[in-house]
Amino acid sequence: MNFPNKICFDNKGPKGGYLKAWIVGDDIPTSIQVKGTNDVAAVKLSREKGQDSDRNERDNERNRCRQFYQHRCRYRHVPAGQGNDDDDDDDDYNNKYGNWESRNRYQTLQQTLIMIKNGVVVGEYKYDVNGNLIVEAPKATLSSDSTIALSDDNEVVFSWTATTEVKVKQYNSQHQTPGSTTWNTFHIDRPLGSGSHYTSSDTPTEVGVHQYRLTVSYNDDNDTIDDQILLTQSITIAPPAPPIGPVYDAAVDYFTVTPNPDGQTVHLEWKTTTESNVLEFRYDKQLPGAADYSPVDNPTAVQAVGTVYSIDDPVSGVSGTILYRLNAVFLDGSTKVLAVQSLQSITA
């Protein structure tokens, strides 16, 4: 991008003067803004290559600038090693050139001008009190809270704040897939000025370790400045967790076994604290002298968590200690022992 090496005043009076600049080259901004103001004015192309009819116009404009300076007022951007401001005027005449003038008056030439090309900011340039370009080295720095991180939604989010932007052309959000050595740019941000905050995001799907980085490209006419890496981060995408099946569980607050007054039956009672996918409750009992429990075909239907369930079991003719075991039967057919109680000295 071509930019003015110098700016000067036009018609300066007690209220200040309009800022004036010439830009010569093949890549001229379409408008220029005075930073910190709403003063944006178009750059007017005064002549295309080979249009000699406008040469007098160019010379008249240049002479007006000379009224404010004792030396030659040259405005073209000259890349390093390709000439200087003492070159012959015809060097400029073979280029396209444009002129710019601010809309407002200013008291000083110490300003920062923002170059805009077709609505996009392409650079900022500072000028001293004499209107000379302050040559600054390209630079970009970020705030300490700038990050690349994986969100809960498996989205990789870039978030950064520029604390310094000098000759920044663009920020590049880049991604390297697992096993690859190629960096792919998936998002570009144009500079908005120091202090601006930026975000970008990517949604990787491949399982493995992904590499992410944020780089900055500078406005460099000689193409000698490499992109600078500002942030890097490795992001691991894990395989999806297996689907969680239904939970089968049950628990009781208590389980009691009490003889009824009739001496013929036993009262079983329990209260649930957990019931998940329970089909029914059953109990087994082990009679005196038996080697194991025997199931009792007398199921109790499920109601709700916190229900107090009860059932009577006949014990007529049994003498000795009886063991009772309470079970939960689940919808998938599995079972769980919830509690065991004993009843002593039952006499027929």
Whichever domain contains 284, its CATH number is 2.60.40.10
Identify the domain boundary among 73, 97, 126.
126
Whether 46 shows a pLDDT value over 70: the answer reads no
264-292 mean pLDDT = 94
Q: What is the pLDDT at residue 334?
A: 95
Confidence (pLDDT) at 95: 59
Q: Indicate whether 2 belongs to any domain.
A: no
Pick the last residue of a domain from 203, 237, 271: 237
Same domain, 186 and 278: no
337 and 255 assigned to the same domain: yes
How many domains does the chain divide into?
A: 3
Query: Worst-scoring range by mean pLDDT, 57-66, 76-85, 86-95?
Result: 76-85
Do 13 and 99 sit in the same domain of this protein?
yes
Question: Is 20 among the domain residues?
Answer: yes
Contact 88, 69 (CB under 8 A): no
Tens digits of per-residue pLDDT, 223-256?
A: 678 899 999 999 999 998 888 889 999 999 999 9
Please give the share of the chain, as a percent, with pLDDT higher than 70: 83
- Tell me if 293 is assigned to some domain: yes
Span 275-297, average pLDDT = 94
* Same domain flag for 91 and 148: no
Q: Do 118 and 217 sit in the same domain of this protein?
A: no
> Is 85 a domain residue?
yes
For the segment 67-89, the average pLDDT, to the nearest whole number, is: 40
Query: Does pLDDT of 72 surpass 70?
Result: no
Q: Examine residue 3 and state whether it is found in any structural domain, yes or no.
A: no
Tens of pLDDT, residues 138-190: 899 999 999 999 999 899 999 999 999 988 999 999 999 999 999 999 999 99
Last residue of one domain, picked from the residues 99, 126, 153: 126
How far is CA 274 from each of CA 249, 251, 305, 328, 333, rounded to the nearest angstrom? 7, 5, 6, 11, 18
Higher pLDDT, 27 or 32: 32
Averaged pLDDT, 34-44: 94
Residue 80's pLDDT is: 37
Which domain does 222 fall in, by range? Answer: 139-237
Do 12 and 105 lie in one domain? The reply is: yes
Is the pLDDT at 70 greater than 60? The verdict is: no
> Which of the four pLDDT bands, split at 50, 70 and 90, describes residue 345?
low
Residue 154 in any domain: the answer is yes
Whether 232 and 266 map to the same domain: the answer is: no
157 and 217 share a domain? yes
Mean pLDDT across the chain: 85
Residue 123 confidence (pLDDT): 80
Higher pLDDT, 263 or 284: 284
Tell me, yes or no, whether 202 and 265 share the same domain: no
Mean pLDDT of 23-38: 90
| Residue 210 belongs to a domain | yes
Does any domain span residue 94? yes
Residue 303 has pLDDT above 50, yes or no: yes
Q: 186 and 266 share a domain?
A: no
What percent of the chain is predicted at pLDDT more than 90?
60
Same domain, 13 and 113: yes
Residue 90's pLDDT band (cuts 50, 70, 90): very low
The mean pLDDT value for 67-93 works out to 41
| pLDDT computed for residue 318 by the predictor | 83
In this structure, the answer to whether residues 305 and 200 fall within a common structural domain is: no
List C-alpha distances in Å: 261 to 133, 264, 309: 109, 8, 19
Mean pLDDT over residues 276-297, rounded?
93
